[in-house]
Amino acid sequence: MKKVKNLFVIAANVLFFSAYVNAQAPAKEREFNTTRLLYKGEEKHLSNVRQLTFGGDNAEAYFSFDGNAITFQANNSDWGTKCDQIYYFDLSAGNMKEGAPQLISTGRGRTTCSYFMPDNKQILYASTHEGNDACPPAPEKREDGKYVWAIYPDFDIYLSDLKGKIINKLVEGPGYDAEATVSPDGKSIVFTSIRSGDLELYTMDIDGGNVKQITSELGYDGGAFFSPDSKKLIFRSSRPKTEEEVANYKSLLAENLVQPTHMELYVCNVDGSELRKITDLPNASWAPFFHASGEKIIFSSNHPSKRGLPFNLWMVDIDGKNLQQITFDSMFDAFPMFSPDGKKLIFSSNRNNNGSHETNLFIADWKD
């Protein structure tokens, strides 16, 4: 996640999404001043919405296995950060209005995609700090006008305790390794890696052993999460089809870049079998997460938009039917995650930011 001139930031493998949306949005949309926590009468699945952060860019907040805490990434100058770092927050503390939560990452390099381990005492995350202490630079504006994300090759996956001490390095090697999440049964981890020469999904045992490649079709596969029964994976993908799309994808990948202006959602078994696309929508559908039933997917999409905005949360059945809009913000809602008991939803949003560029974390009670 990076702070950009306008609007919001989206994280890690979704680097610079905000720059794309801002470029697409008309001036009136960009200047919209929102002061709402809840769009009453429309956001019928949400109640008791509570704001957790109050400034900077905050995203990818994920619950602990017991539902009592979250880990997330943030870029907030008031907290002394220059680019995304990983934090831990005990939800019983209320909110982070009065100060920074516990820093988990080293404060060096850029980090992304943190997730609790089953014991609730350790957090895994990806970081570039061993490659360089400094924040890696954002891609420069391209002469061809293509909107791209950086796939930083220094990203490796680390394991930390709740005080920020690195315990282990779970995934390392040349090239991008990031986007790791843990199965609900606590036995497996899924992550994205470029080790094959393409951005594919891999699984491994909880200790980092028994690494298996799950996807193999050309294209960027990432942001994967397990189903509640740990038997399936949901993920986003941008898969080139035409000769021109393939050539463009390979050319950018050689520069450690991807162009994510169109993404769809896919479901498969944890071994990669029975792969199927469950969305077929314009623009970008991404940040998926399973509903507690295992039969529905909540995700972020701008598919109704002609110029990038807004991004809202949507829900669809696992077979791709019964698409339903969940949030109705005029700017940006993304990164939804249900609590382990399915009773709460946490997400990132531009709502209630008084027209600033801040993206904050919100938590709400969920009503089916």
Above 50 in pLDDT, residue 5? no
Average pLDDT rounded to a whole number, residues 25-48: 72
Output the pLDDT for position 34. Answer: 58
What the block records as the tokens of 21 is 């949306």
Residues 320, 285: Cα–Cα separation, whole Å: 13
For residue range 161-171, what is the model confidence (pLDDT) as tens digits?
A: 999 999 999 99
Average pLDDT rounded to a whole number, residues 294-320: 94
Q: Which residue has the tokens 């930390």?
A: 160
Output the pLDDT for position 356. Answer: 87
CATH H-level superfamily of 12-366: TolB, C-terminal domain (2.120.10.30)
CB 27 within 8 A of CB 307: no
Above 60 in pLDDT, residue 251? yes
Question: Is residue 13 classed as helix, strand or coil in its secondary structure?
Answer: helix
pLDDT band at 147 (very low <50, low <70, confident <90, very high): confident
Output the pLDDT for position 142. Answer: 87
Above 50 in pLDDT, residue 17? no
Task: State in Å, rounded, how far the first CA of the chain is from the last one.
Answer: 31
Asked whether the bond before 310 is cis by omega within 30 degrees of 0, the reply is yes
Q: Indicate the pTM of the whole model.
A: 0.91
CB 227 within 8 A of CB 217: no
Handedness of CA 238, 178, 338, 226 (dihedral sign): positive
For residue range 324-341, what is the model confidence (pLDDT) as tens digits?
A: 999 999 899 999 999 999
Q: Which residue has the tokens 């820093």?
A: 103
% of the chain at pLDDT higher than 70:
91
Above 90 in pLDDT, residue 12? no
Mean pLDDT, the chain, whole residue set = 90
Question: Is residue 221 classed as helix, strand or coil in its secondary structure?
Answer: strand
Average pLDDT rounded to a whole number, residues 229-252: 96
Report which secondary-structure segment, H or E, holds 18. helix 17-24
**Among candidate residues 114, 31, 18, the one with its CA nearest the CA of residue 355:** 31
For residue range 270-294, what is the model confidence (pLDDT) as tens digits?
A: 999 999 999 999 999 999 999 999 9
Average pLDDT rounded to a whole number, residues 152-169: 98
What the block records as the tokens of 103 is 């820093």
